[in-house]
Structure formats: structure tokens, C-alpha cells
Chains A and B, each alone.
Chain A
Amino acid sequence: MNRRNFLRNTGFVAAGSLFVPAFMKPLEAMALDELSLYKNLVVVQLSGGNDGLNTIVPFGNDIYYQKRKGISIKPEDVLKLNDMQGFNPNMAALREIYDQGWMTIINDVGYPNPDRSHFRSMDIWQTGSDSNQFLSTGWIGRYLDSNCQTCQYPYTAIEVDDSLSLALKGQSKKGIALKDPAALYRNTNDPFFKAMIQNDKEHLDEDNLGYLYKTMIETSSSASYIQNTSKIYQSKSEYPASGFANQLKTVSKFISSGLKTRVYYVSLSGFDTHVNQNQQQGNLLKQYSEGMAAFIKDLKTNNKLEDTLVITFSEFGRRVEQNASNGTDHGTANNMFVFGGRLKKQGIYNAAPNLSDLDTGDLKYQLDFRQVYGTILDKWLDVNNAEILNKKFNTLDFI
């Protein structure tokens, strides 16, 4: 560890704060980077286009029941949050989280000229582009590129998966994908791999071979750091038995063991429910909610919920009217969820979707998803969102 980082990590670097132990100061008095060093963002991607209207059900609106005769959730089954909207009954696990004030629901998030192709719309959400613009870097990747104080290490952004999403790829820096820190550690400690990167200074110039060696060396040091920091930590919390909950458990282990990672990325797929939606979506929402509830409680137990912000998005919502197969087809605007211990506006953030003012059968968006990203970049990750999103987006008040 070099001197600069060592100093920063002790928390004594800010002028005027010398010799004042951190716990004696009010939060506002602490320097920004001291605080931010420990702030985490967790992004949860629901792939396939989750049907937001059967997730946060507008049971107070008759149009919902008229347009969805075969698949609407009966008012008596909805877990009511106010007199208009409520949870799908499969989300019971989140009730407690919501009541604690740890959850915000943002309605009608989207973008102009929405694209209904999964691939393209996911591309737009992951890169933060306009709908007629093609970016080859992701929004978190560009955050890594921005040279913020804490983003010089590849483990600044971790995706708990076998491969890395575009969202985490920057021009010069990229996040790291791993499902199992022990396995990656074993691979990078393979004698052949070790021999390849030993004393290798000669390759580290600007060309592609240098880039490959640099990536290997960074992978190896990240794998050691992640494994050595997190291996002793044992979670005491119970998680349900699902792949998704397992990913969250890994994230919690990383956060709770004090890994200096800023962004985590996990995903749950299968939301493309064109046929017999209720059972499939119900299963997935149950998995999602039970996993999230366990995760949020685990963070709370470890005193990390204050320093963690979790967001959930899907590439698009679905059409207001159901189709002929008791499913729904690709739509546009959708709700997003935010979780954390320091939410400024808890509960439902904005008005419920207006079902009588549609754009050829689709919801109109109230908020651009880049306003949500922009808010997080400005207020949570401490970078100017215009630098990352290529233009300035107005921020919101959920944090």
C-alpha cells in the first residue's frame, strides 16, 4: 500500500480533522472522500422486461382491471402500500423492508423514443445512451474511467457472474466479474499463470500485449485482495436457497468484510413473460423479494445498510393491455426500486402510472432513467454526472 492510500484509509487526511477520531465527528463534518470510501452501490438487473404493473399493482385504478381481465391481481390479494398501489402478493417478504423506510419505489422511469427490443433496450440502460446513439462503454465503466479517487482498482466494480456486462466496461478501465472468489484465486495462483506474470515489467507499455499483461496482473492482485479480505468473514444471516440469493450473499460478504469496492452488479433473468405470466412472474418476484429482504436485513445487522444503496431496474416494462395468451408483450416505462438505510424520500416517490394517458397502449415515462443514474453519480458516488452521462441530468430527491 502506498503512502497516499494508507493515509486516506486511516481517515485522517482531511484538513482540520487531524487527531479527531472519526466517531466523534458528525457525518457532515467529514471530508467527502472519507465518507464515500465506504459507500456502496448495488445494481440489480431484472432481465427480460419485468411487468411493473403486476409488480407494483395499481389496484386503485379500474382501467388496470379492464385491460387485464385474465392476469390482474385481485384487490384483496394486493399488499397495499397506499390507496392506489400495492405489492404483488409474492413480494410479502419486502413488506417489512418497506415499512422500515428502507425502500423507495419510483414510478414510470424510461427514456424518449423507447426501443422494444430486449437487446437494444438493455444496451441503452447499460450504456446510458440516447435511443439513437451507440456507446461501447457502460455507465459504471465510464465512472471507473473518470479517475475518481477510489476507482483506480479493477475491484472497484464487481459483477457477481461469470462474464462482465457492458455496464461495467469503460474505455480504459473495466470491472471484474467473478462468481466465486476462491475459484478465481485458485486460477490466478496456478503455477503456469504465476510464471507468466512474474517480474513482467517489459510488457507493460501501451500496446495490446501490454494491455493483456496488465489485465492479468490486475486480475491476480484483485483475486488475492478479494479472497484475503473476504475469506475470514462468515455471514450469520439466513438466505433462501436460490441462485439469485446466493449472488446477494456474496455481495453482502464483500461489503461486510470491508472490501473497498464501490459498485456491485447482479442479475436475475427470465422476466419475458409472454405466456401464462402470473405463475412465472410470481415465482421470480418471490425469489427476488425473499433474496432482497434477506440481503437488506443482513446489511442492517452488519451496520452496512446506511452505507449501501441498492437499485433495481429492468430494460422495459410491458404493455398495459394483456395479450391473448395471458401474458404481456414488450412495453416502455417501468418502475425502479431503491433500497438503503439513508433514503431521503421513502415509500412511493412519485405519482402512479397514468393508465388513461397512454402512448399507443404504452405508459409514458415521467422520469428519465439517467436522472436516477445522475442522482446516484452526483449524490452517492460523488462525481459530476455530466462527465459520465455526456450531458447534465437533473437530480432527484430520493437520496
Chain B
Amino acid sequence: MIAKDNFYNVKHLYNRAGFGISYPDLEKLSHKSIDKVVEGLFKQAKRDDDIMLIDTAASRNQLLMQAGLYAKKGELSEEDKKLRQEIVRAQNEKSRDLNIAWVNKMINTDAPLREKMTLFWHGHFACRSNNPFFAQQLNNIQRENGLGSFKTLLVEVSKSPAMLQYLNNQQNRKGKPNENFARELMELFTIGRGNYTEQDIKESARSFTGWAYDKEGSFVFRKNLHDDGTKTFFGKTGNFDGESIIDIILENPKTANFISRKVYKFFVNETINEAHVKELADHFYKSRYDISALMKKMFTSDWFYDPQNLGNKIKSPAEFIVGLSREFYVTYNKPQVLIQLQSSLGQYLFNPPNVAGWPGGQSWIDSSSLMLRMRIPSLVLNDGEIDFSGKADPEDEAIIALNRSTKQKAVKSFVNATADWPKFLGTFPKDFTPLALAQFLLQPKLNDKITKLISNNKGLKSTTIEITSMPEYQLC
């Protein structure tokens, strides 16, 4: 492949492995070989600064207070009730702040591959926690280990208070096993349905007994709650604990296949090419579950750049919002709007529909969500008025119940965002044509209709708004 041809390939790579690319960067990288460009992406991804929004000490303190309230018997005093309400209010506020902090991190990051991996694992290890500190912890685990060893990632996720709580391992005790975590570990996190028996679930649940977190929100192994009897799992018999169960699951190449398949669907194509997935799975397994090795293999494979894999993936709401904001250097003066956009489009980060994550692909699109997606760029770039409201998250029903007024007021608000037009337009060479702009902004190949529609356009700014309002802009 000659270097000059790499304009479209680099653009494709940066759209899938990150959240898009600026024109000057694209120009620069187009002259390099794909292998070199991929290397650069990984080099950038070495940075992995955590989100440190939620203060550890303060959260521990809050957890202790909460535990204290729970322990009280009988009716709480007015003071205690106030305190409890205040904790819930503070948590909800912090949870929203955490969401916005991550979205902003994705918009501004210098390590796009790492944030994209975090987004992938966020959907894979889908979890809800009403404790923002736990949610932040899990997000940081997914970021730190997102390009490392899958085993480490899996163990760390399994030990995180957010997941222990979400999948009820906190209640998983010797003699009273709770199978929720053990079941999802196999069904959704590692090997997939059809590769284990109900007995395997029972035996592995016993092995995870005693994995819990303490009052301060740290993992602890409670030896007295652990069932240390003999278990038989995947045909092996022994005195297994949680980690040995994870090892046995990873020994099975089907786990490498399951993960590679999911990676393929997220980064390459919703329609699986079995040969390509097998190639990835073999490599992943041989590398002893090194996620970087898997990703490098994929990004440097010729088939990654095959025409059927270009510009044919429906952007997730997160990819769409982050991509748009990154592309136009958008500042949200009222960041709450980022949450409104996410929930209206059906992907409110940190709030997946269930432990299986967001289904993705065509399920993002129905008539209302598509109409909204096509209007959002002009709303954001032109500071338009929002005349839609997302559905309430069911977890917010309690707050709705408290603040309910009988008459629903029509919500009218503006996006209140600032796009940096001079910066965006300044990235292009003089005499840049509307057609060249479309070629840059859209991933699918231009067709006659688009060409006709914009080739007589005058300004680049109005052309930009038209292009980003096209259905083609929904693909990457």
C-alpha cells in the first residue's frame, strides 16, 4: 500500500480506534505506513491518567456514615433522615459530575485509543452503581487495564465494589450462595452461553464466596464466609477460589473467541466474518490474553481496511456526541446538556440498560432517535433550542416522585455550547472546497446526490452544518 493512499485508511483507523482526527493530523499521518500510524496510536495510549473527580477520603467518610445509618434500629430521627437524604442528593449530583467528567475527558484526550478501550470495556463489563466513588473506581480499572492483560482486567473488575454490589457477590456466602455474579461472569464477561452447565455456575458461585468489600469501599476476602470445600468446575476438581475459576475459564480458547468476537463487532463490523474473528482469537489466546496484541493485530490487518468495513458502522450516541464535540472544539457552558443528549439518544453512560450492556448497531436507530441525531449537529453548532426531553431514568423515579407537580411544564432550553469555528476552519488549506470538506467529514464514500447537494455551496460553515446533518454523518 503506498503511503499517499492512506488518507482514507488513517481516517478510518482514527474513527474506530479513537473519536476522529483533525485535518492537519490526518494530512501528516497520511504519508506514513499504517503500521507506523498504529504504533503512534499505541504510544499515545501509554498515558492513562485516572479520573480523580471524587475524593477518596470524603467518599470513605460518606460510606461510613451510610453504614452507621443502616445499622440503626427503629425509626430514624429527623436529623438522621435529613442526613440520609443529603447523602443521596450528593451522590446523585456527583454521579452526574462523573459522567460529564468522562465525556469531557473523551472529548479532550490525547490518548484516544485508551479512552475508546475504556468505552468498550464500559459496555462489556456493564455495571450500575449509585455510589459515584465505586463507579469512578471501576471506570479507572477499565482505563488502566483496558490495553493490558485481560486476566488482570477481569480480576480487578470482579473485585471492584461496584461489580460486587451490582451482581450481589456481597451476599454470596458459604452455605447461602448467590449465583448472580458467577452466571454473568460466564454468560456475558468471558465465554458465552452454551459453554457451561448450571452445575458449573453453582460450583463457581461457591468459589467466589467471601469476595466482598468493606465499609470503606475496599475489596476484602472474608475467609470465614468462603466455602473452602472441594468443587468440580469444567471437569476439574479441586479446592478452587475465585481466581482459579477465572484461570480455568481463560484456559478455554472459547473465551478468547468470545472476547475477540465482541471486539470485532465493536471496532470492525456488526456482521461477523468468522475467519477474521478466528484469526484474532488465535492471536489473543497465544499472546496469553494480551489486549494490546489483539488490538494491534486487528488494526494492522488488511481486512480492517476492506471496503465493506469502511464507513458502515452506526456511531453509538457516545461516539457521536464525543466525535462531534471533538471535531468542532465544542465547549458546553451548561454541561448538563451532555446528559440530556445521552439519555435522549439512548446511551446514558454509567447507566447501561442491564448487565448485558447496550445492544448497539441498528438498535440505536429508530425514527425518533434518527431525527434527533440529524438535528443535534445544528443545535450544538448553532446553539439551537432544545424542544425534546429524554425519558426519565427509572432510577431517578424517587426524585421525580418527590418533586412532582401535577402539571408538566414544557421544558425549553438552549444547548448553550460554543463551537470554535475559527479554530476548526483554520485547520484547512486555502481554497478548500465544500466537496473536500465532505470527503473529510464523512466516512462513507460520497455519492452523486451529496456531491450535487453541496458542490455549489458557498460558505464552509453552512456546508459543515449540512454535512453533519446528513445520515451519512451517523456512520463511522
Given contacts A242-B407, A269-B397, contact A119 B366 (CB under 8 A): no
- List B55-93 residues whose CB lies under 8 Å from chain A: 74-76, 81
- Is A122 an interface position by the 8 A CB rule? yes
The 8 A CB mask of B316-345 against A (1 = contact, 0 = none) is 000000000000000000000000000010
A280 to B351: give the CA distance in the assembly, Å: 26
Given contacts A175-B366, A208-B312, A280-B402, contact A48 B471 (CB under 8 A): no
Is A136 a contact partner of B365 (Cβ separation < 8 A)? no
- Is A165 an interface position by the 8 A CB rule? yes
List, in ascending order, chain A residues with CB within 8 A of B374's CB: 193
List, in ascending order, chain B residues with CB within 8 A of A287's CB: 406
A248 to B389: give the CA distance in the assembly, Å: 18
- List A338-353 residues whose CB lies under 8 Å from chain B: none
B261 to chain A minimum Cβ distance, whole angstroms, is 16
Is B368 a contact partner of A48 (Cβ separation < 8 A)? no
Is A187 a contact partner of B404 (Cβ separation < 8 A)? no
A280 to chain B minimum Cβ distance, whole angstroms, is 5
The 8 A CB mask of A316-356 against B (1 = contact, 0 = none) is 00000000110000000000000000000000000000000
- Nearest to A272 among chain B residues (CB) is B397
Is B366 a contact partner of A215 (Cβ separation < 8 A)? yes
Given contacts A123-B354, A196-B470, contact A270 B404 (CB under 8 A): yes
List, in ascending order, chain B residues with CB within 8 A of A93's CB: none
- Is B469 an interface position by the 8 A CB rule? yes
- A120, A176, A196, A273, most chain B CB atoms within 10 A: A196
- Is B353 an interface position by the 8 A CB rule? yes
- Is A66 an interface position by the 8 A CB rule? no
Is B453 a contact partner of A48 (Cβ separation < 8 A)? no
- Nearest to A199 among chain B residues (CB) is B449
- Nearest to A215 among chain B residues (CB) is B370
- Is B422 an interface position by the 8 A CB rule? no
A175 to B365: give the CA distance in the assembly, Å: 11
Is B406 a contact partner of A219 (Cβ separation < 8 A)? no
List, in ascending order, chain A residues with CB within 8 A of B387's CB: 183
Is B370 a contact partner of A243 (Cβ separation < 8 A)? no
Is A219 a contact partner of B367 (Cβ separation < 8 A)? yes
Given contacts A270-B400, A280-B401, contact A192 B368 (CB under 8 A): no
Given contacts A163-B344, A242-B408, contact A48 B391 (CB under 8 A): no
- B interface residues, how many (CB within 8 angstroms): 62
Is B367 a contact partner of A177 (Cβ separation < 8 A)? yes
List, in ascending order, chain B residues with CB within 8 A of A212's CB: 314, 365, 370, 471, 474-475
The 8 A CB mask of A193-208 against B (1 = contact, 0 = none) is 1011000101100011
- Nearest to A200 among chain B residues (CB) is B449
- Is A34 an interface position by the 8 A CB rule? no
A267 to B391: give the CA distance in the assembly, Å: 10
Is B368 a contact partner of A178 (Cβ separation < 8 A)? yes
- Is B395 an interface position by the 8 A CB rule? yes
Given contacts A169-B363, A177-B368, A211-B365, contact A162 B344 (CB under 8 A): yes
List, in ascending order, chain A residues with CB within 8 A of B384's CB: none
The 8 A CB mask of A151-169 against B (1 = contact, 0 = none) is 0001000000111111001
A209 to B408: give the CA distance in the assembly, Å: 37
Is B401 a contact partner of A209 (Cβ separation < 8 A)? no
- Is B371 an interface position by the 8 A CB rule? yes
List, in ascending order, chain B residues with CB within 8 A of A161's CB: 391
- List A259-302 residues whose CB lies under 8 Å from chain B: 267, 269-275, 280, 283-284, 287
Given contacts A119-B353, A119-B354, A242-B407, contact A164 B369 (CB under 8 A): yes
- B361, B368, B392, most chain A CB atoms within 10 A: B368
Is B344 a contact partner of A209 (Cβ separation < 8 A)? no
- Is B173 an interface position by the 8 A CB rule? no
A273 to B404: give the CA distance in the assembly, Å: 11
- Is B362 an interface position by the 8 A CB rule? yes
- Nearest to A240 among chain B residues (CB) is B406
Is B401 a contact partner of A208 (Cβ separation < 8 A)? no
Q: Can you report 25 residue pairs joining A to B where beta carbons are below 8 Å apart?
A: A48-B397, A118-B397, A119-B128, A119-B351, A122-B394, A174-B367, A176-B368, A177-B366, A188-B371, A192-B466, A200-B449, A202-B447, A203-B447, A208-B361, A209-B471, A211-B362, A215-B366, A215-B367, A216-B471, A222-B367, A270-B401, A272-B398, A283-B406, A287-B406, A324-B75
Residues of A within 8 A of B (CB): 47-49, 117-120, 122-123, 132, 134, 136, 154, 161-166, 169, 174-178, 183-184, 187-188, 192-193, 195-196, 200, 202-203, 207-209, 211-213, 215-216, 218-219, 222, 241-243, 267, 269-275, 280, 283-284, 287, 315, 324-325
Given contacts A134-B356, A209-B472, A242-B406, 17 further A-B contacts (CB under 8 A): A49-B397, A118-B397, A122-B394, A123-B353, A123-B354, A164-B368, A187-B375, A202-B447, A208-B362, A212-B471, A213-B471, A215-B365, A242-B407, A269-B392, A269-B397, A272-B397, A274-B398
